């Protein structure tokens, strides 16, 4: 399996160029050089095999060969809107959501929220998304939004199927089928769950309450278990 590198800029004069961090990783960590072949992806769905033609301390030049590589995407976008767990558990959640194929992750601010990531924390998590995408061979980066208030989320995604994780919600056997191409949004609350007022607001706006497990789940477990369950209900990706 070829090493993969993130290359968001389009080619210039027929060559792709890696930025400083990716160049350092290629040359110093992977110990690759001119003539070696790797895989490049731009984070927007394009991926290609490429050959290294020049290596310097701050830059690597490559040329693509062959047809663009095909990276299947889910037939229905899955959005996870989740309260942020404490310490490094959100880092783990972001990494695993990327691997699962979640299209978008929205840090959720609710009445009982304790952690609200901002600025440099979000920038670091976006780097985590790049690294996870390289590992899982994903060509399109998961989008990490700025934190969103619960009232704003409830009114967002007007054409999506929207689900709220709730121990008293519908079991998986009663969840609706997700049509091809329609967005699915899962909202997961903080420790202690959503307040009654927050749940009632969502139910009054067309959200569906679903049960993810019989046991009480941690925030990060609920988000990943819920997305995995929803993704299994999507139509098969065509070959």
pLDDT of residue 75: 67
Tell me, what CATH number does 194's domain have? 3.40.1280.10
The answer to whether residues 105 and 222 belong to one domain is yes
Note the pLDDT tens digit of each residue in 15-41: 999 999 999 999 999 999 999 999 999
Q: Which residues pair with 164 in a beta bridge?
A: 187, 209
Residues 215 and 98 in one domain: yes
32's tokens: 């690759």
100 and 54 in a common domain: no
Give the rounded distance of the alpha carbon of 232 from its chain centre.
16
Classify residue 237: in a domain, yes or no.
no
pLDDT one-digit tens code per residue, 136-186? 999 999 999 999 999 999 999 999 999 999 989 999 999 988 888 889 999
Give a three-class secondary structure readout of 98-127: HHHCCCEEEEEECCCCCECCCHHHHHHHHH
Q: Which domain holds residue 121?
A: 78-231
Same domain flag for 120 and 202? yes
Q: Convert the pLDDT of each residue in 46-94 to its tens digit.
A: 999 999 999 987 899 999 998 888 777 776 789 999 999 988 999 999 9
CA separation for the pair 179, 75 (Å, rounded): 9
Strand partners, 162: 185
Residue-wise pLDDT for 1-15, tens only, equals 479 999 999 999 889
Residue 198 and residue 143 in one domain: yes
Structural domain includes residue 44: yes
Tokens describing residue 217: 């789940």
Tell me the percentage of the chain whose pLDDT exceeds 70.
96
Number of structural domains in the chain: 2
Among residues 42, 65, 88, the one where a domain terminates is: 65
Residues 204 and 129 in one domain: yes
Whether residue 32 lies inside any domain: the answer is yes
**Strand 148-149 vs strand 104-109: parallel, antiparallel, or unpaired?**
parallel
Using alpha carbons, select from 35, 62, 32 the residue that is nearest to residue 50.
Answer: 62
pLDDT level of residue 233 (50, 70, 90 thresholds) = confident
Is 197 found in the same domain as 85?
Answer: yes
Q: Which of these three, 23, 43, 65, is where a domain ends?
A: 65
pLDDT at 238 (0 to 100): 47
pTM score over 0.85: yes
Residues 188 and 129 placed together within one structural domain of the fold: yes
Residue 35: give its domain's CATH number: 2.40.240.20
Residues 98-119 have a mean pLDDT of 93
Supply the pLDDT for residue 100.
93
Cα(56)–Cα(37) distance, integer angstroms: 17
């Amino acid at each position: 399996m070829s090493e993969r590198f993130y290359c968001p800029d389009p080619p210039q004069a027929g060559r792709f160029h890696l930025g400083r961090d990716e160049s350092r990783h290629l040359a110093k960590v992977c110990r690759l050089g001119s003539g070696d072949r790797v895989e490049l992806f731009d984070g927007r769905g394009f991926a290609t095999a490429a050959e290294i033609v020049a290596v310097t301390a701050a830059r690597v030049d490559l040329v693509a060969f062959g047809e663009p590589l095909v990276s299947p995407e889910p037939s229905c976008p899955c959005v996870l809107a989740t309260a942020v767990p404490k310490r490094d558990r959100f880092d783990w959640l972001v990494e695993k959501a990327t691997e699962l194929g979640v299209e978008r992750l929205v840090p959720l601010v609710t009445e009982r929220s304790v952690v609200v990531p901002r600025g440099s924390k979000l920038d670091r998590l976006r780097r985590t998304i790049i690294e996870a995408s390289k590992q899982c061979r994903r060509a399109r980066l998961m989008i990490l939004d700025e934190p969103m208030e619960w009232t704003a989320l409830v009114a967002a995604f007007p054409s999506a199927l929207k689900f709220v994780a709730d121990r008293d919600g519908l079991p998986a056997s009663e969840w609706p089928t997700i049509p091809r191409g329609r967005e699915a949004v899962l909202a997961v609350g903080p420790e202690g769950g959503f307040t009654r007022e927050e749940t009632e607001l969502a139910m009054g706006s067309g959200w569906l309450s679903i049960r993810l497990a019989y046991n009480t789940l941690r925030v990060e477990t609920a988000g990943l278990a819920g997305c995995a369950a929803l993704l299994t209900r999507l139509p098969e990706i065509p070959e």
